[in-house]
Structure 1
Amino acid sequence: DLHPDVTEAMLFDKFASAGTILSIRVCRDMITRRSLGYGYVNFREAADAELALDTMNFDILCGRPLRIMWQQRDRALHKSGVNNVFIKNLDKSIDNKSLYDTFSAFGNILSCKIMTDESGQPKGFGFVHFESQEAADIAINKVNGMLLADKKVFVGRFSSRNQRTDPSGPRKFTNIFLKNFGDQLDEEKFRELFSKYGKITSLKLVTDDSGHSKGFGFCSFDTPEEAEQAVENFNGFTVGDKQLFVGRFQKKNQRLSQMKRKKEVERQEPMNKYQGVNLYIKNLDDTIDNECSRKEFSKFGMITSA
């Protein structure tokens, strides 16, 4: 959760009072060099690291609370969701620190996070990753159904997206979104086209104050199968000089989540391209330039950039 402006020097100033620091690194995008929002502080003594964790967790740095946790070298364990607890129906007043304070009574916490939207507002759910399964089980038994800030919360085992997905196929829908048809189609023509595939329960084309179509609208079918048939047959359908878009209706937060996932995939593509072939070199003497680097490393293979 580090602010993009946080540097290694800022982290050194923050953590130096806890003990002797051996190294500090803010993790950055390999291509853009922008901060990825997390980093590492390596202390000489484990006791100093523990002191930092106990006394500085959730301190504010550049306007954001720090989330401090032990480095988890086993990435597979972190991604597996083992010992991970899911909490929902949280009041908006519950922040990361409140969640940590509530659940730390049940065992050592590896990580704790309240999920937020694009504007930074809490979504009302979060996750706590415990060190042991026993601690996770106790937390579920003790806190599930309990009142936190006057709201009854649900606490259960974390399930991955793949586990939550219906194995019989994609999530079903009955509402579809229409756009890019201008004035060339009205409600009557849409009803005529779509009624071939099932019973229409509602149809609304959005208009401006003068009654002219804005080129988009919504249609609801009686069953998911009918809605899927309409999408399959009319998405991309040519109307005059326009290509009609017909797709599953999504709420704003669903569209934003989908766009965020798409951007993340696009961001990862250049990184994946150079995965395993790009080297990061540090602690170089000031006399070392690009030419020296090429000369030293060219013996191992062709260099595309340096």
Structure 2
Amino acid sequence: YVGNLSRDVTEALILQLFSQIGPCKNCKMIMDTAGNDPYCFVEFYEHRHAAAALAAMNGRKIMGKEVKVNWATTPSSQKKDTSSSTVVNTQRSQDHFHVFVGDLSPEITTEDIKAAFAPFGRISDARVVKDMATGKSKGYGFVSFFNKWDAENAIQQMGGQWLRGGLMRQTFSPFGQIMEIRVFPDKGYSFVR
């Protein structure tokens, strides 16, 4: 479910944005006659891509409006009442909490993000999103935790960290409060202040 859309948003634009995360089956735009904002449903082939889209796109601005992305309910409840379409979880996702990881340097792999986030708790899935055509990293990914508290803790601790810095942080934090970590992967050294 993608809501709070600008009236200028088209199905084609939504498909273009969301298919960067994973292959989309279809997109259905609902134009409300009562004058409310349009909303739409995006269907992915794979659950993990839908989960990544939810983590990546919720709260993002599309044409100047912050969109709301949520799990859609079953088709039977997609009535005129738009509030019914924002019911949260699907069964598969009830016990997973997704953390979006952005601004990754191109050499960061899925293994790297697993290693960096593993200390925060049990991970159900981790993935660097790759370009279908080139196989290169798109510079973002996601990590899914079984436990909500672990996910929130990871967001708090890792926000603004260099990912390789995340591993440094785990290694050096027992020795005192860390002010700054700077990693120079090409030179093979780091500074920890």
Greater gyration radius: 1
Larger relative contact order (CA 8 Å, sep ≥ 6): 2
Question: Normalised by the size of structure 2, how large is the TM-score?
Answer: 0.37
TM-score by length of 1: 0.25
